[in-house]
Every structure is written in structure tokens, then in C-alpha cells.
Amino acid sequence: MSCLYYNDNQLFIEHVCLADIAEQFGTPCYLYSKKCIIDNYRAFRDAFADIPHQICFAVKSNSNIAILQLLADMGAGFDIVSGGELKRVIAAGGDHKKVIFSGVGKSEQDIEEAIRIGIFCFNVESEQELVRIAHLSAKQNKIVNIMLRVNPDIDAKTHSYISTGMRENKFGIELIDLITLLNKISELTSIKLIGIGCHIGSQITELEPFLLAMDHLLAINATLKEQGIKIQYLNIGGGLGIVYRDETPPSVTEYAEALQRKVSNTHLKLILEPGRSIVGNAGILLTKIEYIKNTGDKHFAITDAGMNDLLRPALYNAWQNIMPVTEHRGPELSYDIAGPVCESSDFLGRDRKLVIQPGDLLAIDCAGAYGFCMSSNYNSRCRPAEILISGHDAYLIRRRETIEDMIALEQLVVE
Ligand SMILES: *Cc1c(COP(=O)(O)O)cnc(C)c1O
């Protein structure tokens, strides 16, 4: 399900025509549908309404502060992976008491700051991290909450770059290390174990890996209980997939029902960390065709957006639908949609049947997650503007970068 639709051969988001946006704000730019984000969040919240739960939006999937503000206003907590993301949550008016800090490489500085601000808890991924957090917590005379992120060794059946719960991945704590860790925790007075969790990967399109992961967490909980250790939270992470093309991920309702069945007879509160499934289908990248090149029997549409603006196709060979903003009649040709960056991996789509000409606008669908937030300045390209669409209105939520912005931190050598 996309937030895009045609009316009279013109592409729209909510009540706004994309051609008008290009005229007003220029291209390339990212557009997000406010209604779609709200609907996705509500679907999650309502699906889990029968059990105690907290949704912590994964900030890394879309970290624009206006998007975070929207989610904060609906009561969302946040899953962060850096001190920078924590600052964004605060800037967006998010509640620091609903922030979970994940990630394998938390720096001393970031941990210290998170303790000072008073986040809800840390998702701990190693013994060294545990010791570091305990030390920094003691230094501030505090007791901080932690959850242990275990590695359940489950194949999430997704792209290897976004699979995170298998033994060979760097994430989480191996089960065999858990017991020693529990002994360690019992000796440390500046931390409190409140839960266990896992995050097995992203763009997962089957229920089974989630259910296996949940079984693992429940088994660990049973072991903890036997040892007299009581926890309050189970964290199942994020990872629910969306439809980019012809995938058939479980619906949020199916996902929720299956998980609820597993936890309903425990007294544990469920933590969810969805990212992609909240914002993925709520955003698009709008780009203009600069040139059309025909080489032998291949046709290229060269766009003003490239891999630096949207990395997923180049990085994961990801497929995202590409739609003309104005539909033309005529014979379709097969095009590779490529950006201006000097890399052959710089493509947005391959073998797309389109009726297009230079100057036409294209919308790259489902770019709301891992889109802008993965963009870079490679080739000294200014990052695109971001715009939030709400009904008939368009709000600029990040202005287009300028060359001055880009070189502002650099300086010439004066000898
Ligand atoms: C990336 C990540 C998420 C979000 O994953 P999605 O696939 O976007 O839902 C949640 N939790 C952790 C720990 C993550 O690293």
C-alpha cells in the first residue's frame, strides 16, 4: 500500500499534486504523507491494544524531527542508536523517559549523556558494554535500567545486510554467555535488569522468525525465573516488512495477534521497535529526468536524484516502484533509471517499462524509511529537501542543502 494515487493522469499524495510540489520546492525532494504515518502508527497501537505494550519508533529509519514530533504527539517512545538520535528526540519534543538506547557500539560519551538525560533503558549487547554502563551509572550515583539483547540465532529470511539475529552477526549476546552475564549483573549495584529482547532483522515478510524469536525470549524468561530473577519487559525489536513489490508480509493485525497469543499468559509488557512499517510506505522521492540516453538496445533515464539521495537500490539491490508523475499515452520502453553519480551502482531502478521524456518527473515509491536518513553528500551533491504533506498543505521540514552548508565545516590551510 502506497500513499500515491493518480487523479486525471496526475500523481497525488493526500490532496497535493506532485507536479505542484516540484514547481514550488524543486527536485529532488522527499515527500511524506502525515495521514499515512498517523494511520500506520494507529494500526500498530490498536493491534496491540489488548496487552500492555510500548511502541518505540526506530529513529534510524526516519530521523527528521518533524516526523519524530508527529509520533511523539501520538505517544510513541523511541529506539535510538546514538547520542545524535537522542538529541533529535529531545529536539522533537519526545519523552526521554520512553527512550531505549540500542546498538553494539555505544560510546562512553553517548552513554554518559543518556544517563544524565534519564532515558528509560539501555539495550545491552555485550559484557564490556554492561560493565561500561554500570561504571558510568555509578559515577552519576544512579541506577539505570537495562535489557539484555540476546542473539537467538534465527534466520529472518531477509537480505543478509539487514539480518541481525544470526550467530555470525555482530549483534546481541550469545545464549551461552547469558549465565555469566547474569552473575555479573547481580554484583553490579548501579544497574537494574528489567527485560530481555532481540531484533532479528529488517524487512521480514514471514511470521515464523518472529514467533521463534518470541519462543526464545520466553524460554530465557523461564530460566531467569528459576534463578529467582524477575523481569518486566520483553522486547521483540522491529523488522516487520512492507510491500515494495509483490512481498506478502503479515499484516500488523496478524503480527500482533500471533505475538499476543504468546505473551498473554505472562505478566510481561511487550516492547516494539518498528521503523520501516511506520514510515516506509508514507514517503516518496520526487525526481526529474534530466536526460534520456539510448546506447545500443539499452535506454537510460538519467535523473537528478542518485544513490547519494536514495541508497537502498545501490546498497541492497532493493526494488522500489517508479511512477511517472504525469501519465502519457504511447508505446512503453524499458528504461534503467540512473542517477548522476559517478558509479555504475548508481541506479534507482532497472528494466522499468515507462512512457517518459526528458523533463518529466518520477516518483520513487516507499522511500519513507531508510531514505533521506541514509543520504550523503557524495559527489558534493546537496541533500534534498524534505516536505510533509497534510491534506491540502505542504510543510517544508528540511530545506534543501546548499554548497555553503556543505563546506561550512571545512577550512583552507594557511601556512
Ligand atoms: C533497525 C532497528 C529497528 C527497526 O527495524 P525496522 O525493520 O525498520 O522495523 C528496531 N530495533 C533495532 C534494535 C534496530 O536496530
Q: Are residues 313 and 402 in the same domain?
A: yes
DSSP state at residue 321: -
Let me know if residue 268 belongs to a domain: yes
Query: 199, 236, 366, 374: which to mutate for ligand 1, most atoms within 8 A of CB?
Result: 199
Number of domains observed in the structure of the chain: 2
- Coil vs helix vs strand at 193: strand
Q: Are residues 229 and 300 in the same domain?
A: no
Q: Are residues 260 and 290 in the same domain?
A: no
For 340, residues 6+ apart whose C-beta sits below 8 A from its C-beta are 290, 302, 303, 304, 306, 346, 379, 381
Let me know if residue 413 belongs to a domain: no
Each residue of 274-285: pLDDT tens digit?
999 999 999 999
Residue 162 clears pLDDT 90, i.e. is over it: no
pLDDT at 1: 64
Closest atom, ligand 1, to C-alpha of 201:
7
The percentage of residues in the chain with a pLDDT greater than 90, rounded to a whole number, is 88
Choice between 296 and 211, residue whose per-residue pLDDT is larger: 211
Residue 163 clears pLDDT 80, i.e. is over it: no
Question: Which of 228, 251, 279 represents a domain boundary (last residue)?
Answer: 279
Query: 99, 102, 121, 270: which to mutate for ligand 1, most atoms within 8 A of CB?
Result: 102
Let me know if residue 414 belongs to a domain: no
Each residue of 242-264: pLDDT tens digit?
999 999 999 999 999 999 999 99
Q: How far is the C-alpha of 209 from the C-alpha of 154, rounded, in Å?
A: 7
In the set 17, 36, 56, 342, the catalytic residue is 342
Q: Which domain does 52 fall in, by range?
A: 33-279
Q: Are residues 224 and 109 in the same domain?
A: yes
**Around Cβ 102, how many Cβ atoms within 10 Å?**
28
Query: 273, 316, 366, 374: which to mutate for ligand 1, most atoms within 8 A of CB?
Result: 273
pLDDT at 177: 78
pLDDT at 265: 87
What is the CATH number for 22? 2.40.37.10
Q: Is 30 exposed, middle or buried (0-12, 13-18, 19+ CB in 10 A)?
A: buried
Let me know if residue 399 belongs to a domain: yes
| The residue type at 340 | P
Nearest CA to ligand 1 atom 10: 238
Q: How far is the C-alpha of 2 from the C-alpha of 16, rounded, in Å?
A: 15
Each residue of 88-108: pLDDT tens digit?
999 999 999 999 999 999 999
Let me know if residue 152 belongs to a domain: yes
For 155, residues 6+ apart whose C-beta sits below 8 A from its C-beta are 163, 166, 209
Each residue of 30-63: pLDDT tens digit?
999 999 999 999 999 999 999 999 999 999 999 9
Cell numbers standing for residue 327: 501519465
Distance 350 CA to ligand 1 centre (A): 28
Let me know if residue 78 belongs to a domain: yes
Q: What average pLDDT does range 326-343 have in this prediction? A: 95
Dihedral sign computed on CA atoms, order 70, 73, 75, 80:
positive
Residue 82 clears pLDDT 70, i.e. is over it: yes
pLDDT confidence band for 166 (50 / 70 / 90): confident
Distance 33 CA to ligand 1 centre (A): 21
Closest atom, ligand 1, to C-alpha of 369:
8
Q: What average pLDDT does range 74-87 have in this prediction? A: 98
Q: Are residues 41 and 160 in the same domain?
A: yes
Q: Are residues 109 and 168 in the same domain?
A: yes
Distance 236 CA to ligand 1 centre (A): 10
Work out the mean pLDDT of the chain and round it to a whole number. Answer: 95
Question: Which of 255, 279, 303 represents a domain boundary (last residue)?
Answer: 279
What is the CATH number for 65? 3.20.20.10
Q: Are residues 241 and 96 in the same domain?
A: yes
Range from 154-158, 185-189, 198-202 carrying the lowest mean pLDDT: 154-158
Question: Which of 279, 305, 329 represents a domain boundary (last residue)?
Answer: 279
Closest atom, ligand 1, to C-alpha of 204:
7
Distance 56 CA to ligand 1 centre (A): 10
Closest atom, ligand 1, to C-alpha of 276:
8
Task: Give me the phi and psi of 37, to 5 degrees please.
Answer: -65, -45
Dmax (CA) of the chain: 73
Distance 274 CA to ligand 1 centre (A): 6
Each residue of 104-126: pLDDT tens digit?
999 999 999 999 999 999 999 99
* Cβ < 6 A, ligand 1 pocket: 58, 60-61, 79, 102, 199, 202, 237-240, 273-277, 369
- Coil vs helix vs strand at 42: helix
Q: What average pLDDT does range 395-406 have in this prediction? A: 98
Q: Are residues 73 and 157 in the same domain?
A: yes
Q: Are residues 96 and 225 in the same domain?
A: yes
Residue 234 clears pLDDT 70, i.e. is over it: yes
Q: Are residues 266 and 288 in the same domain?
A: no
Closest atom, ligand 1, to C-alpha of 123:
13
| The residue type at 259 | L
Q: Are residues 238 and 345 in the same domain?
A: no
Distance 300 CA to ligand 1 centre (A): 34
Closest atom, ligand 1, to C-alpha of 102:
13
Distance 164 CA to ligand 1 centre (A): 10
Distance 223 CA to ligand 1 centre (A): 26
Let me know if residue 245 belongs to a domain: yes
Confirm whether 29 is a catalytic residue.
no
Each residue of 216-231: pLDDT tens digit?
999 999 989 988 999 9
Let me know if residue 120 belongs to a domain: yes
Q: Are residues 50 and 22 in the same domain?
A: no
Query: 56, 60, 366: which to mutate for ligand 1, most atoms within 8 A of CB?
Result: 60
